[in-house]
A and B are shown apart, each in its own frame.
Chain A
Amino acid sequence: MRTLTFFGVSLLALAGAGFVAQQSATQAQQPMPRPAADPEVVAKGAALAAIGNCNTCHTAEGGKTLAGGRPLATPFGTVYSTNLTPDPDTGIGRWSLSEFRRAMHEGVGRDGRELYPAFPYDHYTHVTNEDLGAIFVYLTSREAMRTEIPDNRMFVPRPFVAVWKALYFKAGTLAADPAHDTQWNRGRYLAEGLAHCGACHTPHNALGAEEPERALDGGRIEGWSAPALNAQSPAPHPWTVDDLTTYLRTGFDPQHGVAAGSMAAVTQNLATAPEADVRAIAVYVASQMPASRAADSRGASGTSQPAAPVAEDAVPDSLAAAATSVDGAAIYKSACAGCHERAFRGIPLARSTALTDTTSANLVRITFDGVAPREGSPGGIMPGFAGALTDRQMAALAGYLRSEVGRAPPWSDVEREIAKAREEAKAKKAS
C-alpha cells in the first residue's frame, strides 16, 4: 500500500516534471515577444554598442553586421563570435533581457554554459543595467539574420572557464571615484567597461587574464602592438585630451598619425558615438598618461605644439651612388621620404609611436601592408611595401628609423616580427 502510494506519487511527480519540461521546451522554441522598440532607446543602445565595439568581433569578414561568425584566434584556440541579431535559431531571438544581462555581467550563456573570456565580460560587468537594457533593445530591433557559425576550435574545455573566473574575474560595477569630476568618472566608466580598452592595451598573463597591476602597460592584438596608455606611453608627443578626442573620433590626429590595425575599427565606431562620451574617454585615458615617458626623454614641453611646417615640395636628396640595397637610410630617403617629408601628406615619422614603441610590430605591419580605410569609408592611406622590400631591406629600414628618427635603442624583435608578418599575410591569402 505504502509502496503503491509512493509509486503513485512518484508517477504524478514524473508526469508533472514532464509537463513542465515540455512547456519550457515550447517556450524555448518561440522567439521572445518584444514590445515595439522606442527609437530613443534604440539610438542610445546603438551609441553604446558603438563604444562597445561589438560589431568588430561579431561581424565576419564580408558578412552581415553583428551576425557573428568571425574567427578570433586566442592562445587557447579559435573561438567564433556569436550572432547578435534577433534570429531565433542562430542569434539572440529567444534571449530574455535577464539572460543577456547574465551573459554581459557574468559571462554565462543562455544555456548556462561558461563563456570564453575572449568575450570581454570582465569589462562588460561594469556596465549599468540601464545601459545594457538600451543595448539589448538596439540589438533585438536589428534585422534577424541566420548565420551558420562554425564550432569553436578551443583546446581548453569550457568547465575550465569556471576556474579561470574564480581566479581572475571580479563581477560588479565600478563605484564612482569622488576624487574626480563627473566627466572623468563617465570616461572611466566607459573606458573600463563597454570600451574595454584594457582588453588590448593591458598585458595578459599566461592564462589569458589581464594583469591588474600592469593596467594599460600595452599589449598585443592580432599581431599588432596596442601601445601603453599610461606613464609608459611611447608616444613621442604627449597625448592631450583634444588630440585623443580627435584621434578617437576620426582615426587620425596630426600630432600622432593614423589609427591602424585593430584600432582602426575602434575609431570608426567612435565616430558614430556622442562626442561628449568620446571626450570623457579621452579625459580619463589622458589622465592615465600624464606626460609620457618618451616625451620626457625628448625634453618635450608637455603641450601639443604644431609641427614645424615642412616645405610642400621638399624633395629628398639624391642618393650617394654607393648606397647599397640594404642601407636603411637610403631606403628611407628613396622609398619613404617622398611622402613623409611633405606637409599634409604622410605624417613626419618622428611623431609616430610605431618607432618609439617597445616592439617593431606596428612599424613592420604598416610598412608591409600600408594603411587603408575600411571599404567605403574615408581615412588615411598608405600603399604597402611587402612586395617591394625584402626581409633584409625591411630590417635595415626598421633599424635606421628606430635609431635615427625614433632615437631609441635597437629593437631585438625585428627579424621575428618580419617573419610573423609574412606568415600572417600568407595565412590570410590562403584563408
Chain B
Amino acid sequence: MITLQVNGQAHAVDADPATPLLYVLRDHLQLNGAKYGCGLGQCGACTVLVDGEPVFSCITPILVVQERAIRTLEGLGTAERPGPVQQAFIDEQAAQCGYCIPGMIVRAQALLEKNPAPTDDEIRAALNGNLCRCGTHMRILRAVRRAAQGFKASSGKS
C-alpha cells in the first residue's frame, strides 16, 4: 500500500510502486482530469502539481511522490465553482478538442502561483512543455493573461 496525498486527501493505493502516477489517478482514484497523451513526458496532457511544481504524471512513478502534496485539475475547482484559471479558459473558450487543456490549466496555475503577472514571453516559456494539436494557442495565451487578472483580483480581496 502506498499513501498518496491528492487534492488535500490521503488515499491508500494498492499498486506497484513503479506504477505511473497518471494511471493511479485515473484508474484507482477516478480523477480523470489529467490525460494520457504520449506516455513519454513530451506532450504535457498529463501534467499535475507535486509540491507546487508541474510534473508529467505519465512518467512519474508513485514511489517518488508518496506523502507529497499532489494537486490535479480537480483540485483547482469544480464544474459549479471553477477556479480562476479554469474560469479564464472557459471565458476565452480556449478549448477546441480540449484534450490538452487540463495540462495547460495546471501548468498555468503553477506559473501564476509563482508569478501572478507574467509577461507573454514568460507564459510561452512556462507552457513550452505542453502541446496543443488543434492550434488554439492564441486563445490559451489570452486565457492565461485573463487568469492573471483574476489572480490579481482574488489576491486583492484577501
From A330, A331, A335, A390, B59 is in contact (CB under 8 Å) with A335
Shortest CB-to-CB span from A377 to chain B, Å, is: 15
Cα distance, A41 to B126, chains bound together (Å) = 42
Residues of B contacting A318 in the complex (Cβ-Cβ under 8 angstroms): 16, 18
Query: Interface 1/0s, chain A 107-144, versus B by CB < 8 A?
Result: 00000000000000000000000000000000000000
The chain A residue sitting closest to B60, CB to CB, is: A388
Residue with the highest number of chain B CB atoms closer than 10 Å, among A321, A325, A339, A385: A325
The chain B residue sitting closest to A322, CB to CB, is: B17
Contact in complex: B66, A325 (CB < 8 Å): yes
Q: Is B65 an interface residue (CB 8 A)?
A: yes
Query: Interface 1/0s, chain B 51-85, versus A by CB < 8 A?
Result: 10111100111011111100000000000000000
Take A319-B16, A334-B17 as given contacts and tell me if A383 and B64 are in contact as well, using a CB distance cutoff of 8 Å.
Answer: no
In chain A, positions 338-366 with a C-beta closer than 8 Å to chain B are: 338-339
Cα distance, A62 to B68, chains bound together (Å) = 36
Contact in complex: A334, B18 (CB < 8 Å): yes
Take A323-B17, A334-B63, A389-B64 as given contacts and tell me if A381 and B53 are in contact as well, using a CB distance cutoff of 8 Å.
Answer: no
Cα distance, A62 to B121, chains bound together (Å) = 10
Contact in complex: B40, A388 (CB < 8 Å): no
Cα distance, A325 to B62, chains bound together (Å) = 9
Take A318-B16, A383-B41 as given contacts and tell me if A335 and B61 are in contact as well, using a CB distance cutoff of 8 Å.
Answer: yes
Shortest CB-to-CB span from B37 to chain A, Å, is: 12
Cα distance, A318 to B60, chains bound together (Å) = 15
Interface of A is mostly: loop
Contact in complex: A387, B61 (CB < 8 Å): no
- For chain A, the count of residues having a C-beta within 8 Å of the partner chain is 25
The chain A residue sitting closest to B111, CB to CB, is: A429
Take A386-B53, A388-B55 as given contacts and tell me if A335 and B17 are in contact as well, using a CB distance cutoff of 8 Å.
Answer: no
Contact in complex: B63, A331 (CB < 8 Å): yes
Q: Is A420 an interface residue (CB 8 A)?
A: no
Residues of B contacting A393 in the complex (Cβ-Cβ under 8 angstroms): 64
Task: Please report A residues at the B interface, Cβ cutoff 8 Å.
Answer: 62, 316, 318-319, 321, 323, 325, 330-331, 333-335, 338-339, 370, 381, 383, 385-390, 393, 429
Task: Please report B residues at the A interface, Cβ cutoff 8 Å.
Answer: 16-18, 40-42, 50-51, 53-56, 59-61, 63-68, 114, 121, 129
* Given A339-B40, A429-B114, 7 extra CB contacts under 8 A: A318-B16, A319-B16, A319-B63, A325-B65, A333-B18, A334-B64, A383-B41
26 contacts between A and B (CB under 8 A): A318-B16, A319-B16, A319-B17, A319-B63, A323-B63, A325-B67, A331-B63, A335-B59, A335-B60, A335-B63, A338-B59, A370-B41, A383-B40, A383-B59, A383-B129, A385-B55, A385-B60, A386-B53, A387-B50, A387-B54, A388-B56, A388-B59, A388-B60, A388-B65, A389-B64, A429-B114
